[in-house]
Amino acid sequence: MHLLGISGSLRRDSLNTKLLRAVAELLPDDVELELYEELAIVPPYDQDRDGEVPPVEVARLRDAIAGADAVLFATPEYNSSIPGQLKNAVDWASRPVRAASLTGKPVAVIGASTGMYGAVWAQAELRKSLATAGARVAEAEVAVGRAEGRFDDDGRLADDEIRDELREAVATLVGEARVGELVAA
Amino acid sequence: MTITEVARIVPAGNWQADRVHSSLGFAVRHMDVLPFDGGFADFEAELREGRITGTARVESIAAADENLTAHLLSPEFFDAERHPELRFVSRALRRDADEVVVVGDLTVKGQTRPVELRGTVGEPVEDPYGSRRLGIELTTTIDRTDFGLDWQAELPSGGQVVANDVTITARLELVEESG
């Protein structure tokens, strides 16, 4: 089972990217997580450019999502919502309607923030957008508040409770993807 | 219920819905202002030995906008990928004054619930092509959340964007099978 991890934060020391790296370390043997690392270069959504040959960065984004059995998003919260660049990627991946890389794709959303609440508003908004885009949003949530204190100097997660929550979220997401495999078979 | 009792409500024999002249529609109040009408173009229905059954392909849902169609087919509404069909099977028929009451099981999004449909069953009519035709019109109102169609948004005034109650109407022009 191949998961794609998309962090909504672009900075090098992103807490959400660290959170996805922590997920990669606690996966079952038959599950792998690939980190999508090109969010910064996805151009702004433009219907004029969304034709038969989309921008190459967009084609790569869509291929990465289409090639994954499920997608795990980790989002920070900017001004009570999701980062614009992350929303932009969701918009590209939601087209063409009904044949998009996100159509029917099992997805889950987790989030980390330096504030108390772990980006719960952003997570809710991202779930709403993903559901409208046609994705199959798994009932999973991990909200890591005060996240800067939960990673050690090497950027590794140093919180067993969060690790358990991540394990549970991944199990829910993988479960959704496995149902999808059975339906397709 | 005995065969004689059923026969007083629907005629004997086997009857298939003429798809061109039948419809399967739904209406749901939108923004608390008006009913929004939709329907399923691809469906079959039949009356066979007193039992009414029907199936419809969720993919054939008719909406004027492709984005709306995509949203209705998505896991948030019908989840057509995992639950491609709607199904109805009648269990019992009875009369209630001028109405015919059909009790049966409706399956939507993989969830089966008992429903009671009410309406009319006409008298068979000879068509110009040597067959007999029969009109059955049935309607019921269901709570879509009973079937896991839970999407909702709130109006600023506190009302619902899409009502939970959905009225389903089947208008069936059935043709008797020969032989």
C-alpha distances (whole Å) from A120 to each of A105, A112, A147, B89 are 22, 9, 13, 44
Ordered structural domains, chain B, with CATH: 3-176 (2.40.128.110)
From B77's Cα to the closest Cα of chain A, the distance in A is 10
Residues B78-88: pLDDT tens digits?
Answer: 999 999 999 99
d(CA B39, CA A111): 40
What pLDDT sits at residue B1?
57
Whether residues B74 and A183 touch (CB distance < 8 A) is answered with no
Which of 102-121 (A) contact B at CB < 8 A? Answer: 103-104
Chain B residues with CB-CB distance to A98 below 8 A? 66, 69-70, 73
Q: Which residues contact B18 (CB under 8 A, 6 or more apart)?
A: B133, B173, B174, B175
A179 touches chain B (CB under 8 A): yes
Whether residues B76 and A132 touch (CB distance < 8 A) is answered with yes
Chain B residues with CB-CB distance to A97 below 8 A? 66-67, 69-70
CA A181 remoteness from chain centre = 20
What pLDDT sits at residue A143?
97
Q: Which of A98, A179, A180 sits opposite B70 (nearest CB)?
A: A98
pLDDT band at B4; cut points 50, 70, 90: low
What pLDDT sits at residue A63?
98
What is the residue-averaged pLDDT of chain B? 93
From B153's Cα to the closest Cα of chain A, the distance in A is 11
From A82's Cα to the closest Cα of chain B, the distance in A is 19
Q: What is the domain count for chain A?
A: 1
> What one-letter code names the amino acid at B106?
L
Going through A8-154 in order, the beta strands assigned E by DSSP cover 32-36, 70-75, 106-112, 136-144
DSSP string, B42-60: SEEEEEETTEEEEEEEGGG
The secondary structure of residue A43, as a DSSP letter, is P
Residues A54-108: pLDDT tens digits?
Answer: 999 999 999 999 999 999 999 999 999 999 999 999 999 999 998 999 999 999 9
Q: Domain range holding A17?
A: 2-184
Partner residues linked to B112 by β-bridges: B107
What pLDDT sits at residue A181?
78
- B175: three-class secondary structure by DSSP: strand
Mean pLDDT (10-residue bins), chain A, 185 residues? 98 97 96 98 97 96 98 97 98 95 97 96 97 96 96 95 97 93 76
d(CA A7, CA A73): 6
Please tell me whether the overall predicted TM-score, pTM, comes out greater than 0.80 for this model: yes
CB distance B25 to B36 below 8 Å: no
CATH of the domain at A40: 3.40.50.360
Interface residue ranges in chain B relative to chain A, Cβ cutoff 8 Å: 66-67, 69-71, 73-76, 79, 81-82, 151
From B146's Cα to the closest Cα of chain A, the distance in A is 19
